[in-house]
Structure 1
C-alpha cells in the first residue's frame, strides 16, 4: 500500500444516504471497538450504528479514510468536532483491521490537527475510557500512543455527566481521561 493510495476527507452531506457507506463504517467502528474496549462495556453493546454514522456525515463531523487502490473503499473514520473557536476534539478513531499498524492511524490524527489549525484552533483534544478494576492492555497502549504524539492528560472528566445515557452499558467503573495537545 503506497501512501498516495490513502486519503482522508469529510464526505459530502449527501453521502449520509449511502447505506453501503454508513453500514461499512459502522461495521469498521464496531469491530475496532470490540477489541479496543473489550471488557469495558456489557456484552452486545455496539459503539455506533449506520444511523449515527449518517447523522455525523450530515453534520460534517465524520472524516473518512479511503483506500484508492481498492476503488476508493472506505477503510476507517473518525469523529471531529469544534468544542470552541480555540479547541477541537476527535474521537471514534477506527480503522479496518487489515490496515492497523501501518501508520494510517497517525495520519488520521495529523489530519485532525491540520484541520484544527486551518480552523484557527490552538488546542486539540481526545478522550480515553480506562477501566479502574483491571489493566486494559489496548487502552494502555493507546494512552502511550497519544502521549508519543504530544497529547497529555489535562483532566479526568465525569463520564456519567458527559454521557449519562451510556452509563447503563458499562461493565464496571471507568476513568474518563481527557487529553490535549497545543497545536
Structure 2
C-alpha cells in the first residue's frame, strides 16, 4: 500500500503541524501510540453510538489498532508529541480497506473529541478519497464505500448529523442490512434493533 503523506496547513482551529499518513510499521509495537489511538476511537464511538450498544462495549483495542497499522490500512492524523520529539500524538484516524480493483471501504473514522469542528475529520476524509483515486481504478471508476450504524427503534441525533455530512460530501445510500444478522457475536451487545446503511460515492 502506498505510503501517502499529507502535511495539513495550519489554521486557527486546527492543531499546528498536523500530518496525515499511514504510520510507520514500527509504531504497531508502540504501546503508547496504539493505546492513544484506541482510546480516541473508543471515546468517539461511545458518544456516537450512545444508546445503540450496552454500557461497556468498546469499538476497538490497542492490539487491533496495531494489526491495522501492520497491514497498512489505517491512516492517522497526528502532531508532534509535546513530551518527546521522536513520537507523534494521534488526533484522528480512518481505515481504508480495498475490496476490489475499483472499490474501497472506509471505516474506523474518528477524531479526538477536543478537536471536533477543527476540520481534521474533513481532512481525513479528503485524504482517504484521494488515496482511493490514486490507488484504485481511476477517475470516475474508483468507489468509496462506508457503513453507518443506525438504531431503528429511536432517532439518534449523532447519526442524523453524520447522514447529512456524508450526503453533502456526495455519498448516497445503496442499501441496508440487519446488523445482528451479519454480526451475531455482537448482537447481545445491542440495546435494540439496529441496521447498518451502506453509502457509496463515485470519485472523479
TM over 0.5: yes
TM-score class, shorter-chain normalisation, is: over 0.9
Q: Which runs of 5+ in 1 are unaligned?
A: none
- Native 8 Å contact 2:94 2:125 kept in 1: no
* 1:152 lines up with 2:172 in the alignment: yes
Task: Give the secondary structure class of the aligned counterpart of 1:84.
Answer: coil
Select which of 130, 135, 145 maps to 2:155: 135
Aligned residues: 183
Report the 3-state secondary structure (helix = DSSP H, G, I; strand = E; otherwise coil) of the residue aligned with 2:153: coil
Deviating above 3 A after TM superposition, structure 1's stretches of 4 or more consecutive aligned residues are 68-72
Answering whether residue 112 of structure 2 is matched by residue 112 of structure 1, we say no
Residue 165 of structure 1 and its aligned partner are, at CA, apart by 2.2
Q: Give the structure 2 partner of residue 97 of structure 1.
A: 113
Greater Rg by CA? 2
> 1:154 aligns to what SS in structure 2?
strand
Q: Give yes or no for the alignment of 1:180 onto 2:192.
A: no
| TM-score computed with the length of structure 1 as normaliser | 0.94
CA distance in 2, matches of 1:118, 1:15: 25
TM-score under structure 2 normalisation?
0.85
Higher helix content, 1 or 2: 1
2:179 aligned with 1:167: no
Are 1:25 and 2:37 an aligned pair?
A: yes
Q: Deviations over 1:101-134 (max 9, x none)?
A: 1111111111110111111241001100110111
